[in-house]
Amino acid sequence: MKIAVAGTGYVGLVTAVCLAHKGHTVTCVDLNETKIKMLQSGKSPIYEKDLEDLMQQHAERLTYTTDYQNAYKDAEVIFIGVGTPEKKDGSANLTYVYESAKQIAQSAEKNCIVVVKSTVPIGTNDKVEAILQKEKVHDVTLEVASNPEFLAQGTAVSDTLYASRIVLGVESEHAEAVLKEVYAGFESPILVTNRRSAEMIKYASNDFLALKISYVNEIANLCELVGADIQDVTAGMGLDPRIGNQFLNAGIGYGGSCFPKDTKALHWLANFHDYEIKTVKAAIEVNELQKIKLLKKARKYYESFDGLTVAVLGLTFKPDTDDLREAPSLVNVPILLDEGATIHAWDAVGVENFQKVMEKADCNTNNIVYYATPEEALNDADLCFIFTEWADVKALDLQVFQTMKKAIILDGRNCFETEKMKELGVIYESIGR
């Protein structure tokens, strides 16, 4: 089928490349010329396993352009996969979604289905439909369908090709039939609902996972107080198939571009309807506190961080991505710098992005030194924070901690066995153990 995709971020680009992999002809539209040029040269602007390989493998079925008019004029299906960033009040900023809808309305010369893939508040698809009707230039039928995505960064390609489910939120049999044709090559279960339920499935799923993490983090905090071990506790919980054994890892809180934004957006939306969604509110509050948990632990060992050398292992919000959005490092490093510490930082792929963010932050970036290996970052440090469970960190020869000036390791991702660290004779604190 002839498909166009608006937006070349995680959602748009991964969707486009996976649809091309299944045999469709796909045009990717983005207004950012630098990004389009990069894509045209066969390079992916995001760090995502297998993405660049598939882009190159299916180059003849993939086109990248800023010329939306040409891309939309005769597409059978147009996906909207642009960002819906958080506004200051917690609500979702829908400017890019509505702008894409306007561009589609101005350009479409053929009947087509406009599929909203971006995460949008319930009712947004209706508004997109209204924009299409109002702004359309040609005498065409433009139907709207909701098709939320469930991909996670780092595993985005396989999450799309082997999706746990494909949700089709449609208001007509025709839209259902066209979308089933789009996904004919996929083996995932298909659930057909109305548009509002599909929009809600996305928020309800993400917020449930965020809730699960905050719940486990609170149980972990309690484990520390009562002498239980969170890893044994979650192992016991996870054996119950009703609970499931995934997303039970305690740590210093969830980050990324989705959970923090989507919990706040649902909370905002509930408030808008005069309802307080208390469970989600609690998940948000627990997560904020969890992010500074290691700093609190550190204050037991040092009254002040002034003059200390602090090794920071891991800057990204999770491993296998270079994304820093809402990463715990972004909360903790500025506080440490403010209090006069020097940071010896290491990350597998996130350093460049971290430098860009820190340039804009109001803190003393001269006191950050970046190292190519975690071993170098640890050398002679007074304190070590682990914020991301990169494989390189988990594979460290534990003896390396003896090269620190004072071996105090505060691990926010439970990377090491407590017994082994005890044998080593270092001070090791993790989460819930």
Q: How far is the CB of 264 from ligand UGA (least distance, A)?
A: 13
Give, for 55, the enclosing helix (H) or strand (E): helix 51-57
Nearer to ligand UGA, 68 or 328 (CB): 328
Q: Is 413 helix (H, G, I), strand (E, B) or coil?
A: coil
Distance, in Å, from the CA atom of 412 to the CA atom of 298, rounded to the nearest integer, reads 12
Reduce the secondary structure of 291-356 to three states and give it as a string.
CCHHHHHHCCCCCCCCCCEEEEECCCCCCCCCCCCCCHHHHHHHHHHHCCCEEEEECCCCHHHHHH
Q: Which of 18, 112, 223, 258 is catalytic?
A: 258
Nearer to ligand UGA, 153 or 231 (CB): 153
Nearest to 375 by CA among 354, 353, 355, 399: 399
Look up 258 and say whether it is catalytic.
Answer: yes
Q: Please name the amino acid found at residue 261.
A: K
Nearer to ligand UGA, 72 or 254 (CB): 254
Nearer to ligand UGA, 103 or 121 (CB): 121
Distance, in Å, from the CA atom of 286 to the CA atom of 2, rounded to the nearest integer, reads 46
Q: How far is the CB of 166 from ligand UGA (least distance, A)?
A: 13
Nearer to ligand UGA, 209 or 345 (CB): 209
Q: How far is the CB of 323 from ligand UGA (least distance, A)?
A: 8
Distance, in Å, from the CA atom of 384 to the CA atom of 187, rounded to the nearest integer, reads 45
Contact footprint for ligand UGA (CB under 6 A):
119, 149-153, 206, 209, 213, 247-249, 251, 254-256, 258-259, 317-318
Q: How far is the CB of 339 from ligand UGA (least distance, A)?
A: 25
Tokens encoding 336: 């440490």
Supply angle C-alpha 292, 357, 15, rounded to 5: 95
Q: How far is the CB of 405 from ligand UGA (least distance, A)?
A: 29
CA 425 to chain centroid, in Å, comes to 37
Name the residues annotated as catalytic.
258
